[in-house]
Amino acid sequence: MSRLIDGKVISAAVKERVGGEVAALKAKGIMVGLAVIIVGDDPASKIYVANKKKACEALGIISEEYALPEDTTESELLDLIGRLNNEKRINGILCQLPLPPHLDEKLIINSISPEKDVDAFHPVNVGRIMIGDYDFVPCTPAGIMEMLKYENISPEGKSCVVIGRSNIVGKPMGMLLLHKNGTVTICHSKTKNLKEICLGADILVAAVGRAKFVTADMVKEGAVVIDVGMNRVDGKLYGDVDFDAVKEKASAITPVPGGVGPMTIAMLMQNTLTAAKKQNGIA
């Protein structure tokens, strides 16, 4: 029976730390501000934005929401981002994805100042993650690394397998594990012998977007299993891991919900604080 890696507990610890630093900055007359842009009426995006706003308020971070209609033009959105890039009271800018199909997601992400890119999606920040000299990390991989640190699980010298190669989770996750001296394999839909590769993993990160994709026969006895999946099936939330079966083999495992999910917003708060400190010359 594995131990549960509780994202609610760990995210609360991160938020407490961030809140303390935000209060200390405020005492020096420095406010921390985050601008969140949402285009259209995607229900999931609205929930995410509301949760981010709630977290900001709880930690003393000023939150400005820019809710734009579905038919917002590219030039209108770029103009808003340009103004926010030059606005001193705003330290972080987040444009909620996905965007409506008529907007060029790559162009929009690239228009956010790298110094305010708290999602760490800008090519400058992606490149800095690659070379190991970074200020911001995409929030989900950052949250996973924080969980491993909290649980005293070191990737050093271990076989680390990441299933999924997205720019948001899979690729940066692999780089962060590599920077901590893990031996990393990134798997995807074209990977051959996936089961055999996963069975060699000391740390297995599932970010594939398919409910219960990782089964017990894919997991080595005593492995650490991190489930990034958020799959809604018949109104119920499932991870990418068959939790009930895999927990009997893993030494530690994250649940869904209550695992990686809470960490993502906590690390967004951390990135926003980091941006404010950098912009104010505070190490």
Q: Among all residues, which ones are annotated catalytic? A: 52, 96, 119
CB 229 within 8 A of CB 240: yes
Residue at token pair 């970074």 = 134
Task: Quote the CA–CA distance of 219 and 246 in Å, as a whole number.
Answer: 7
b/e string for 42-71 if b means 16 or more Cβ within 10 A? beebeebbeebbebbeebbbbbbebebeee
For residue 128, how far is the Cα from the chain centroid?
A: 17
Task: Quote the CA–CA distance of 283 and 276 in Å, as a whole number.
Answer: 10
Task: Quote the CA–CA distance of 266 and 178 in Å, as a whole number.
Answer: 23
Bridge partner residues of 35 (DSSP): 64, 93
